[in-house]
Structure 1
Amino acid sequence: MEFLTQDEAIQVDAALLSSKDKFSTRLAIYALRCLKQISQSEDIIIEDIKPEQVQNWVRNDSSFQENIEFDANFDSFFTQLLMASLNPLKKASEAENIPIQNLTVKQLIHWFEQESKQNLEQD
């Protein structure tokens, strides 16, 4: 599984975001992709995914096996990363008034741009 497609990377790079916010946007896009897979395999909505389900998915996905063998804490780290990504995903889905699994890359980027703009105005 790719972290980001070339098109997604271009869209994020073109966004009016700081480097930190671009990183967060990239992470949210990748997390959404992973959470969609977990959601489908567990037959639940993304909002209901539990850390144990993420950890089991990581342990059972062959693309992660090398990382798990290299670092015994990888599955825990990756689980925390995906679970933390739920917060901005939930906020973006609420702003768009759609379920998380229906968010598009364009909508996520737009949400991060709006958040960044608000943060700048508050400072």
Structure 2
Amino acid sequence: MSLQFLTPEESAIVDAALLTTPEKFLTRITISTAKLLGYIAKDLNEPIESLTNKQIIAWFEADSKRKQTEGVEASVLKWDATNLSDLPTE
């Protein structure tokens, strides 16, 4: 499953906002983070407000492992790193 973090429409709304460039950047990150946390909460069958840092980290680790073992298309986060040598092997 692929998650769209920021739609073109949402990006256009942020662009039109009366914000500085750093504020627009932070707004985009915040919108994207809210969507990702919602996805993680649904995936873990937990209310978003109940998610712990430990659960979020474990979710990222599981998605990273899925990417390493099954390929980028099997992961939620489609970040295709060309050099994965810095990833821990366990």
TM-score, normalised via structure 1 length: 0.50
Looking at structure 1, the residues matched to 87 and 9 of structure 2 have their Cα atoms a distance apart, in angstroms, of 33
Does residue 52 of structure 2 align to residue 50 of structure 1? yes
Which structure 2 residue ranges, 5 or more long, are not aligned?
64-74
RMSD of aligned C-alpha atoms?
Answer: 2.4
Compared with structure 1, are the counterparts of its residues 54 and 14 closer, same or farther at alpha carbon in structure 2 (3 Å cutoff)? same
Looking at structure 1, the residues matched to 5 and 86 of structure 2 have their Cα atoms a distance apart, in angstroms, of 19
* Offset from partner CA, 1:37-64 (integer Å, 9 cap, x none): 1111222221221112111222222144
Alignment of structure 1 residues 95-114 onto 2, 5 Å: none
What residue is the counterpart of 2:87 in the other structure? 72
Looking at structure 1, the residues matched to 13 and 20 of structure 2 have their Cα atoms a distance apart, in angstroms, of 14
Compared with structure 1, are the counterparts of its residues 18 and 59 closer, same or farther at alpha carbon in structure 2 (3 Å cutoff)? same
Q: CA deviation at 1:71?
A: 4.3
**Structure 1 stretches of at least 4 aligned residues deviating more than 6 Å after TM superposition:** none
TM-score, normalised via structure 2 length: 0.66
SS for the counterpart of 1:54 is helix
Higher share of residues assigned helix: 1
